């Protein structure tokens, strides 16, 4: 739990029944049940394919499999408008507790208890089924760390450390609770618009399922692999085989209580400012997976409960952290609500105030680098550190060095004489006419609400606001 760099676990899940959860098996289990698929284009643009830009269809897994095989039945089915050679489909963020709510016995096919989390099963897990090219935009998760099991097909993970955040141009539009997106399409970055991206250090790993004939140190054969994505690591994930199936679980951390205060502040600002705009402007600021823009009253309650939970968080001993209480385990009767997805329908009261179960002392964090990577734990190295081929684990080898630069530039005050007020028929929009060699000129578009929000909800700003609120609440 104290690892702060990505790693791959080997030989940990060889007896899990969930290893049989390929798409054909899941199709038989689900029968004719329809699930929602996100549809995107296989063409790689300079901008990310955010969920607000995708199409959506509801279909059975049988219809999805027929579409990936190009069967004639697809000519009239839900995928009929989407040519397979040009599109991908992704059934993402499918909470197993919801889609298999009538088959709770299936939850035991997943045994995260093997990783030291007693009682955690499929009930606290999420299912992902995609076609070739399916991907999630580069983002970081505000809460917890992530364990990922690859069941069918291969997925490539592009991981970036928290220190690269400023190089990835974070944004909260489109807004999704607990997800901070990058404006950069890491698969095809626009370096003219986002020049700092070249300073990132990517850790790339390709996960494959099944047994792999690979010998590591003590002649141990690698089997199914599980990827650990540490807290606040950015990740872009893409399916590189015709069909992929994976299962993950977000593990709660003690630090989540502070993160929930930050998320509450972000939600208040985004909902208040965007809801005040003209609703007919067509700006798709709310991610489709969010149910609706919650009211200011609800957001204020959410903020107060997040602050209250932060102060109620017990600072347990090392032994208590290693052995979570049974009461805490019983609270996990639904997914950890790392995201408040519309499909789950959980309210702030039920999904934001989980009892902390795992945390580690400062001493343990300081000794992080001393943790050995033995035969069952393989470190995911940055691209600058070439490693040998590992069968199911392929690590990128492109070299990029992390550059540090001072972002504390001082611009001084703008003189009133340089300000202009641009007046349109129905609004007044302040703008600035400046020298052409360094700043926007009068011909450029005036600052928008999204421009303001990008600054207000920048992770650094939100972190400072959350700390100020907590300091005030301590008085």
* pLDDT tens digits, one per residue of 67-102: 999 777 667 789 999 999 999 999 999 999 999 999
411 within some domain: no
- Tell me 393's DSSP state: B
C-alpha 264/C-alpha 177 separation (Å) is: 9
347 and 303 fall within a common domain: yes
What does DSSP say about strands 35-41 and 87-95: parallel, antiparallel, or unpaired? antiparallel
Inside any domain, residue 183? yes
* 43 and 164 co-located in one domain: yes
**Is residue 439 predicted with pLDDT exceeding 50?**
no
What is the structure's pLDDT at 54? Answer: 95
Regarding whether 362 and 423 lie in a shared domain, the answer is no
- Residue 329 pLDDT greater than 90, yes or no: no
- Residue 157: phi, psi to the nearest 5? -110, 125
Coil/strand/helix, residue 240 = coil
Q: How far is residue 102 from each of residues 29, 37, 74, 105, 347, measured CA to CA in Å?
A: 11, 21, 28, 9, 22
pLDDT (0 to 100) of residue 315: 60
Shared domain check, 214 and 93:
yes
**Average pLDDT over every residue of 421-437:** 37
Q: Determine the Cα–Cα distance for residues 151 and 154; give it in Å rounded to an integer.
A: 9
State the Cα–Cα distance between residues 204 and 159, nearest whole angstrom.
6
Better-scored residue on pLDDT, 48 or 359: 48
Q: What is the pLDDT of residues 253-286, one digit of tens each?
A: 988 999 999 999 999 999 999 888 876 666 788 8
Strand (E) or helix (H) holding 1: none
CA dihedral 142, 144, 471, 363 (to 10 degrees): -130
- Under the banding of pLDDT at 50, 70 and 90, the label for residue 2 is confident
Q: Confirm whether 262 is domain-assigned.
A: yes
**From CA 58, how far away is CA 36, in angstroms rounded?**
4
Same domain (yes/no): 185, 55: yes
User: What integer is the mean pLDDT of 97-111?
Assistant: 96
Strands (E), 42-108: 55-59, 87-95
**CA-to-CA dists, residue 166 to 196, 234, 264, 404, 410, angstroms:** 8, 11, 22, 10, 18
Share of the chain above pLDDT 90, in %: 54
Can you name the residues that pair with 373 across neighbouring β-strands?
A: none
Higher pLDDT, 418 or 192: 192
The CATH number of the domain where 182 resides is what?
2.60.120.650
Q: Tell me, yes or no, whether 54 and 195 share the same domain.
A: yes
Assess whether 239 and 266 both reside in one domain.
no
Task: With residue 263 as reference, give the H or E element that holds it.
Answer: helix 256-275
Are 287 and 222 found together in one domain? no
Q: Are 443 and 312 part of one and the same domain?
A: no
Residue 338, in any domain of the structure:
yes
* Percentage of the residues of the chain whose pLDDT score is greater than 70: 69
Mark whether 358 and 380 lie in a shared domain. Answer: no
| Of 260, 254, 290, 250, nearest in space to 123 by CA | 250
Please provide residue 121's backbone torsions phi and psi, each rounded to the nearest 5 degrees: -140, -155
Residue 160: is it exposed, middle or buried by C-beta count within 10 angstroms (0-12/13-18/19+)? Answer: buried
Residue with tokens 């995201």: 339
SS3 322: helix
Tokens (6 digits) for 51: 């969920």
| 2 within domain boundaries | no
Q: How far is 460 from 475, CA to CA, in rounded Å?
A: 24
Strand-pairing partners, residue 422, are 429
Number of H helices, E strands in the chain: 11, 20
Asked, for residue 78, whether it belongs to a domain, the answer is yes
Could you give the maximum distance between any two Cα atoms of the chain, in Å? 75
On the question of pLDDT at 23 being above 90, the answer is yes
Quote the pTM value.
0.76
Pairing assessment for the beta strands 179-182 and 377-379 based on DSSP bridges: unpaired
Alpha-carbon span 239 to 54, nearest angstrom: 17
**Is 407 in contact with 199 (CB distance < 8 Å)?**
no
Question: Are residue 239 and residue 185 in the same domain, yes or no?
Answer: yes
Average pLDDT of 451-455? 88
DSSP 208: -
- Which residue in 206, 26, 11, 230 sits closest to 109, CA to CA? 26
- Compute the distance between CA of residue 156 and CA of residue 151 in angstroms, rounded to an integer: 14
Average pLDDT of the residues in 132-160: 96
- Same domain (yes/no): 18, 148: yes
Task: From residue 214, give the alpha-carbon distance in Å to each of 134, 175, 225, 368, 470.
Answer: 28, 43, 12, 27, 50
Q: State the DSSP string of 264-318.
A: HHHHHHHHHHHHTS-GGG----B-TTS-----HHHHHHHHHHHHHHHHH-----H
What is the count of structural domains for the chain?
Answer: 3
Could you tell me if residue 54 is inside a domain?
Answer: yes
pLDDT digits (tens, 9 = 90+) for 358-397: 333 333 444 444 555 556 788 888 876 544 334 344 444 3
- Residues 344 and 357 sit within 8 Å (Cβ to Cβ): no
Would you say residue 123 lies in a domain? Answer: yes
DSSP H/E element including 428: strand 428-432
Residue with tokens 């060095």: 401
What is the β-pairing status of strands 126-131 and 87-95? antiparallel
Count, residues in the chain: 475
CA distance 185 to 204: 15
Whole domain around residue 453: which residue ranges?
Answer: 416-459
Band (pLDDT 50/70/90 cuts) for residue 313 is: confident
Of the chain, the end-to-end C-alpha distance in Å amounts to 33
């Amino acid at each position: 739990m104290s690892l702060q760099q990505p790693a791959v676990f080997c030989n940990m899940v060889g007896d899990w029944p969930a290893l049989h959860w390929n798409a054909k098996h899941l199709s038989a289990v689900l029968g004719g049940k329809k699930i929602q698929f996100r549809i995107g284009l296989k063409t790689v643009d300079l901008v990310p394919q955010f969920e607000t830009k995708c199409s959506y269809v509801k279909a059975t897994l049988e219809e999805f499999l027929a579409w990936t095989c190009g069967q004639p039945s697809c000519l009239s089915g839900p995928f009929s408008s989407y040519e397979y050679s040009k599109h991908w489909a992704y059934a993402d963020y499918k909470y197993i507790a919801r889609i298999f709510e009538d088959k709770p016995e299936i939850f035991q096919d997943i045994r995260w208890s093997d990783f030291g989390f007693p009682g955690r099963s499929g009930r606290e897990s999420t299912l992902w089924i995609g076609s070739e090219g399916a991907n999630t935009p580069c983002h970081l998760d505000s809460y917890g760390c992530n364990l990922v099991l690859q069941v069918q097909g291969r997925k490539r993970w592009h991981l970036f450390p928290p220190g690269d955040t400023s190089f990835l141009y974070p944004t909260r539009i489109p807004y999704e609770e607990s997800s901070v997106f990058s404006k950069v399409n890491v698969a095809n970055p626009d370096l003219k618009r986002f020049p700092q991206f070249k300073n990132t250090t990517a850790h790339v790993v390709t996960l494959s399922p099944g047994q792999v004939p690979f010998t590591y140190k003590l002649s141990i054969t690698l089997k199914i692999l599980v990827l650990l994505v540490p807290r606040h690591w950015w990740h872009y994930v893409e399916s590189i085989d015709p069909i992929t199936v994976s299962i993950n679980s977000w593990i709660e951390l003690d630090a989540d209580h502070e993160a929930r205060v930050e998320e509450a502040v972000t939600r208040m600002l985004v909902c208040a400012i965007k809801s005040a705009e003209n609703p007919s402007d067509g700006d798709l600021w709310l991610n489709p997976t969010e149910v609706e823009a919650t009211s200011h009253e609800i957001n204020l309650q959410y903020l107060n409960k997040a602050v209250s939970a932060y102060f109620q968080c017990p600072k347990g001993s090392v032994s208590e952290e290693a052995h979570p209480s049974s009461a805490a385990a019983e609270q996990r009767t639904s997914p950890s609500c790392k995201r408040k997805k519309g499909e789950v329908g959980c309210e702030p009261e039920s999904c934001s105030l989980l009892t902390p179960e795992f945390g580690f002392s400062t001493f343990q964090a300081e000794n992080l680098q001393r943790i050995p990577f033995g035969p069952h734990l393989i470190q995911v190295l940055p691209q600058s550190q070439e490693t040998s081929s590992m069968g199911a684990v392929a690590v990128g080898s492109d070299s990029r060095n992390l550059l540090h630069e001072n972002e504390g530039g001082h611009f001084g005050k703008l003189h009133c004489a340089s300000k202009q007020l641009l007046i349109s028929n129905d609004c007044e929009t302040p703008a600035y006419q400046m020298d052409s060699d360094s700043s926007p000129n009068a011909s450029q578009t005036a600052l928008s609400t999204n421009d303001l929000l990008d600054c207000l909800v920048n992770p650094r700003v939100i972190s400072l606001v959350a700390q100020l609120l907590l300091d005030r609440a301590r008085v």
